[in-house]
């Protein structure tokens, strides 16, 4: 096992992400989460860095897209647009 970073077993890693153990195992099985180390016995271990990156990725995927609000600086720009016409 790599000794320069702390590795967490699956149950602790699931707690780190605040998800049920089964959900965590499913993510590993689906390839959404790749273990940093797999023991000879087949046990998966994950670094906090890997888990933190995964958590950020999931949050970014679930974040709603938002339009920029109109401000006094950008509100008048709409009147400067030319009407759309088909180009031949």
pLDDT per position as a tens digit, 2-57: 456 899 999 999 999 999 999 999 999 999 999 999 999 999 999 999 999 999 98
What Rg do the C-alpha atoms of the chain give, in angstroms? 23
Classify domain 7-60 at the CATH topology level: Multidrug-efflux Transporter Regulator; Chain: A; Domain 2 (1.10.1660)
Count Cβ atoms within 10 A of the Cβ of residue 14 and give its class: 0-12 exposed, 13-18 middle, 19 or more buried.
buried
Global confidence as pTM: 0.64
Rounded Cα gap, residues 78 and 81, in angstroms:
6
């Amino acid at each position: 096992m790599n000794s320069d970073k702390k590795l967490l077993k699956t149950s602790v890693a699931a707690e780190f992400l605040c998800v049920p153990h089964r959900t965590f195992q499913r993510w590993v099985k689906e390839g959404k989460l790749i273990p940093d180390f797999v023991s000879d016995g087949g046990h998966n271990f994950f670094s906090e860095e890997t888990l933190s990156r995964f958590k950020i990725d999931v949050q970014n995927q679930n974040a709603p897209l938002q339009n920029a609000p109109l401000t006094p600086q950008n509100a008048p720009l709409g009147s400067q647009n030319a009407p759309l016409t088909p180009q031949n």
